[in-house]
Amino acid sequence: MFISHQYRVIFVHIQRTGGYSIHDIFRQYDPDLIESVPIDPAKQRVRHCYISDIRAAVDADTFNDYHKFCVVRHPYERMRSWYQVLRKGYDPKNEPRLQANSLYLQVYQRGIHYLNRHPHRWHAHLAGYWTGLFRLFGRNNTASALSLRSENTGNRVLVEVNRHAGNFAEFLHLPRDQAHGLFERFYANQFDYIAENDAIAVDDVLRFEQLEADFAAFAKQINFPGRLPHLNQSKTIAKGDTQLDAASKQLICTRFAQDFAYFHYSRDF
């Protein structure tokens, strides 16, 4: 998510919808862009907040007066892209780390990376102490604390998905009630991110499938001078992973029924 006071907009960032390209272009034109807000740590989300999280974290005038927008994507393509980015370059002997943008996070990630590569019965305790140490270092810096939460959660999701899902179908069937709630995000509809009281609470819903055109029209509306670069489409997953059986297709349609209904996506895929 981000808030731009300069352009008076709030962006609700839904995973795998081209949101980072939108972040990047706004950073170029608004050096004071706010890219995180403090929310309940138990919710395990920082970058991908629900609109209700943002409402609770900002003043009422900002929330009510600013233009709120998001991007949505076909549920099947979104899940397929999510699986691909989590699987890309994974090696159980050299588990990947998310890219860190500060020395603080790089040092933190080196420690977590080592613990993930050498699991033993004390792993959970050591990882907890390591994370606690960095939380202590960053306790007086809200940005560092929020970044640590985001990086830590993202790394755990990355590792756990690769430990428990060997193909796309298994990824779709990861349990919602996983112990730490890391797979809960794979069950949320895009509608959930932008709705309050069963009604869409953003002013504009852009479509990933036509994002360049939609963003150009949106930018003109808010007098934003930036132009979204051409987005690289996700590379095709290995053929065996894209062959969904009838049960998996039905799972997607059932799980994301709100997205299919509200955004009128085809169930024929």
What's the mean pLDDT in 94-111?
A: 54
Residue 28's SS3 state is: helix
pTM, full prediction: 0.76
Q: What is the pLDDT of residue 114?
A: 64
Length of the chain: 269
What's the mean pLDDT in 231-258?
A: 74
Phi, psi of 143 (to 5 degrees): -65, -45
CA within 13 Å, CB half, 77:
18
Q: With b meaning 16 or more CB within 10 Å and e meaning fewer, what string describes 242-260? A: eebeeebeebbbebbebbb
Q: What is the pLDDT of residue 95?
A: 44
Q: What is the pLDDT of residue 222?
A: 97
What number of other Cβ atoms are within 10 A of residue 32's Cβ? 8
pLDDT value at 101 more than 60 = no
- Name residue 204's amino acid: D
* pLDDT range class, residue 140, cuts 50, 70, 90: low
What's the mean pLDDT in 85-110?
A: 57
* pLDDT range class, residue 214, cuts 50, 70, 90: very high
Q: With b meaning 16 or more CB within 10 Å and e meaning fewer, what string describes 83-120? A: bbebbeeeeeeebbbeebeeebbeebbebbbebbeeee
Report the C-alpha gap between 126 and 207 in whole angstroms: 43
The answer to whether 16 and 81 have CB atoms below 8 angstroms apart is yes
The answer to whether 16 and 7 have CB atoms below 8 angstroms apart is no
